[in-house]
Structures are given as C-alpha cells and as structure tokens.
Amino acid sequence: MSESDNNCYRILVVDDDSAILDLYQRILDPTNPQPSLPNFKITCCSQGDDAVNSVKCSIEENAPYAVAFLDLNMPPGPDGQWTADEIQKLDPGINIVMVTGYRSTDTGSKHSVANFSDKLLFLQKPFYRQEILQFSTALSSKWQAERQLMLLHTELEDLIEKRTAELVESNKLLKIEIENRALVQEELEQSFQNLKKGMDSTIQAIAMTVEKRDPYTSGHQMRVAALTRAIAEELELPEDQIEGAYMAASLHDIGKISLPAEILTKPIQLTEIEISLIQAHSQSGYDILKGIEFPWSIADIIIQHHERMDGSGYPNGLAGDSILIEARIVGVADVVETMSSHRPYRPSMGIEKALAEITQNSGILYDAEVVTACLNIFSKNSFEFPN
C-alpha cells in the first residue's frame, strides 16, 4: 500500500489496554466503511517501542501513517510523550493525538511540544466514538493536503529556478552580443520587465489555483489586492512597497490550499477543530512561500495579515508596530471585502456594515491610519471592487 489507496488512510493506535485497542478497531473498522467518511487501515501497538518501529517500517515501505493516537501512560515501557517525540523525529508529517485519562500532566517538556505543536493534539479519556471519527477524518484530510502542498511548493521552486536560470543566460548573451552601453541597459530593463511580467502571471496562476477549490469566494484575493493597492496609494507609500503589498494580497489565502474543500464550502457553523484548521492557513501560506526569493517580504506579510493591533490576532499574537504596515493594510482590506461579499454560511452584510466594523475598531483591532485611508477612498474616490 502506498501513501493512500482509494482514499484509505493509515492510522496508528498505541495503548497498553487491549480493550481500548479493540474499541479503536470497532470505531475505525475498515470492513464497515461509512459513505461520508474515508476508509482507514488500523495498526495497533501496545507499547511505545513497538510504535516507533512500526513508523520506521512505514517510512521504509513508503506507506506513512496519517494519524497516530498515543496513550500518555503505558507502563512498563516508555510513555506517550517519549513515543511522540521519537515518531515526530522519524516522520514530521504525521499528526499525533495524545490520549490521556488525566486532566493535567507535567509529562514532557515545553521544548518538545513547541517543536511540533501544529502536529500535536490532546484528547481526554473517556473519549466518544464521534471524537475519534472526527479527529481521524479531519487530520487525515489535512495530512493528504499537506503532502500535495509540499509537491506544489517543489514545483513552484523549480519554476522560479528555471525562470531565474533563463534570465541569467539571457543576460550573459546580451553582454556578449551588445557593445553599446545604452542598448545593453535597455535590453536589461526589458528583461527585468519580462521577468516581472512572468512573476505576475505566476502569482495570478497560484491565486486562481486556490480559488478554484472554493467557488464561493472566487475573486476574493484579487478584490482584496485591488483595495490593498488603493489604500497603500492613499497612504502615499513608496511604489515598491505598494507593489509588494499588492502581490502579498493577491496570495494572502494561498494557505487555504491545504484545507479540505468541504470545510471551505461548509454552509453551517464550523466545529472548533475546523476553525483551528482554517486559522492555520496564514502559517501554511508562510510555509509555502518562505523559501521563494521575492523582491518583497511576501511570506511575512501573509503570516501577519490576521494579526491585530491589540495583540488579539493569530497566529503569533503580534501587536502594534510589530505588524508590518503591508500586513495591516491587507488585514483591513480582507475584512472589508469579506464582510461585503456573499459567503456559503451567510449573505453579504454590505459595504456600510463593513466600513462601520473597521471604524468602530479603529486603533483597537485595525491601524487607525489604514482605516482612515480606507474610508477616504470609499467616500472621496468612490472606490468599487472589480468584478
């Protein structure tokens, strides 16, 4: 079996109680699949050492686990925290759910948890059947999306490397063939514009890839980008800074490519797990783009666009001037566009309510100068979102 076969995901269960292992087997029984859920293939271990060896074998066989449920206390062998650390070293992509009957524990170090906190969740015993199904389904979908995201990241790096190599080769030929200094400068400028045009096209293609997974928000990133540029111009930022803010806004939701489409288009209230997955999109967007060399701080702007002036935002709780001005602009533009547009779970709230929201929270959640600039372009310049 490869990484996944016919939408079947591998689940590792580790518990020293055979009755608990039998319970997992009954809940995730691959011989009795449910139409609305993926199929699961279960591997059971009673001790941490066995679990680590099982993960080693899964890597060697190119059949990794999507999710591991670990009991915290498994005498006489190593505990769940040790097992989680060792498994994460072998396979950083696995999602780990620590299952414990204790309400609090000092087991493990803050350092080890911090190293892979986005991959480590906790579940209280006694658990319910639906909790196991929800964790298994959501985390397996997240695991598969992350592997697809890694492939996309590699393809993006290859494309940019190819474009860069072509530009370097073009410049070498130009220097050899053109003796006139003015003509060389003209050709180099043309090459730069071509590269910029190619980069713009690549960014637009990436943005379209994200929005195709969620037809209800089609055009959202481009509308946010248009409003971002207008606000940045109203603030009279340098042209290069305006361009960087625009490009970041065009990609600000790229991290949502790692989310299951059914969560993005869900027409009802999301669960806490689903909300936490969606909130991870700014971190995911940063992880996709951080290794790509843009002329602007695109990745930093994207990870900060949900931060708020009072520190109540996410993912890092930044506040005030710790947030890039470009991220503050994108954040305001994102709120205004989202509130004034239709969503699967609600109709459009209208531009007036959107502007009232940023006005009411000016200087609290949103940068006051950015809010003023946004209000000016709607009142004085009659700004309209592009269709």
Q: pLDDT, tens digit, for every residue of 48-100?
A: 999 999 999 999 999 999 999 999 888 888 888 999 999 999 999 899 999 98
- Does 114 reside within a domain? yes
Strand partners, 71: 99
Query: For the segment 297-320, what is each residue's pLDDT rounded down to a tens digit?
Result: 999 999 999 999 999 999 999 999
- Does 366 reside within a domain? yes
Helix, strand, or coil here: 110? Answer: helix
**Same domain for 334 and 248:** yes
Q: Is the pLDDT of residue 108 over 50?
A: no
122 contact partners, CB below 8 Å, separation of at least 6: 97, 98, 99, 100
Q: Is the pLDDT of residue 217 over 60?
A: no
- Tell me the C-alpha to C-alpha distance, in Å, between residue 270 and each of 220, 264, 278, 306: 20, 10, 10, 19
Q: Is the pLDDT of residue 275 over 60?
A: yes
What is the 3-state secondary structure of 325-363? HHHHHHHHHHHHHHHCCCECCECCCCHHHHHHHHHHCEC
Rounded mean pLDDT, 13-33:
87
User: Which pLDDT value is given to residue 110?
Assistant: 45
Rounded mean pLDDT, 318-333:
96
**Same domain for 225 and 359:** yes
- Say which CATH number the domain at 35 has: 3.40.50.2300
The answer to whether 62 and 2 are in contact (CB under 8 A) is: yes
**Same domain for 221 and 129:** no
**Same domain for 343 and 236:** yes
Q: Could you give the CA distance from residue 130 to residue 126 in angstroms, rounded to a whole number?
A: 12
Regarding predicted confidence, which is higher, 210 or 253?
253
- Does 199 reside within a domain? no
Q: Could you give the CA distance from residue 366 to residue 128 in angstroms, rounded to a whole number?
A: 41
**Same domain for 228 and 104:** no
Rounded mean pLDDT, 128-154:
87
- Does 208 reside within a domain? no
Report the half-sphere exposure of 186 (CA within 13 A, side-chain side).
6
User: Which pLDDT value is given to residue 330?
Assistant: 96
**Same domain for 373 and 224:** yes
Rounded mean pLDDT, 212-235:
82
Q: Over the Cα atoms of the chain, what is R_g?
A: 25
Q: Could you give the CA distance from residue 358 to residue 360 in angstroms, rounded to a whole number?
A: 6
Q: Is the pLDDT of residue 200 over 70?
A: no
User: Which pLDDT value is given to residue 210?
Assistant: 62
Regarding predicted confidence, which is higher, 39 or 212?
39
* 76-85, 262-271, 340-349: segment of lowest average pLDDT: 262-271
Q: Is the pLDDT of residue 1 over 60?
A: no
Strand partners, 12: 43, 68
**Same domain for 137 and 220:** no
User: Which pLDDT value is given to residue 166?
Assistant: 80
Q: Is the pLDDT of residue 184 over 60?
A: no
- Does 110 reside within a domain? yes
DSSP state of 251: T
Place of tokens 């089609």: 218
Domain assignment of residue 95, given as a range: 8-143
- Does 124 reside within a domain? yes
Q: What share of the chain is helix, strand, coil (3-state, %, to 5)?
A: 60, 10, 35
Q: 312-322 as b/e, with b when 16 or more CB fall inside 10 Å?
A: ebbbeebeeee
The answer to whether 332 and 374 are in contact (CB under 8 A) is: yes
Taken in order 334, 336, 341, 342, the sign of the CA dihedral is positive
The average confidence (pLDDT) of the chain is 82
**Same domain for 123 and 261:** no
**Same domain for 230 and 308:** yes
**Same domain for 217 and 105:** no
- Does 322 reside within a domain? yes
Which domain-ending residue is among 143, 161, 182?
Answer: 143
- Does 188 reside within a domain? no
User: Which pLDDT value is given to residue 54?
Assistant: 94
- Say which CATH number the domain at 242 has: 1.10.3210.10
**Same domain for 234 and 108:** no
- Helix (H) / strand (E) element for 232: namely helix 220-234
Instruction: Look up residue 97 and give its two tokens.
Output: 């759910």
User: Which pLDDT value is given to residue 280?
Assistant: 79
The count of structural domains within the chain is 2
**Same domain for 248 and 134:** no
Which domain-ending residue is among 98, 113, 143?
Answer: 143
Which domain-ending residue is among 143, 159, 184?
Answer: 143
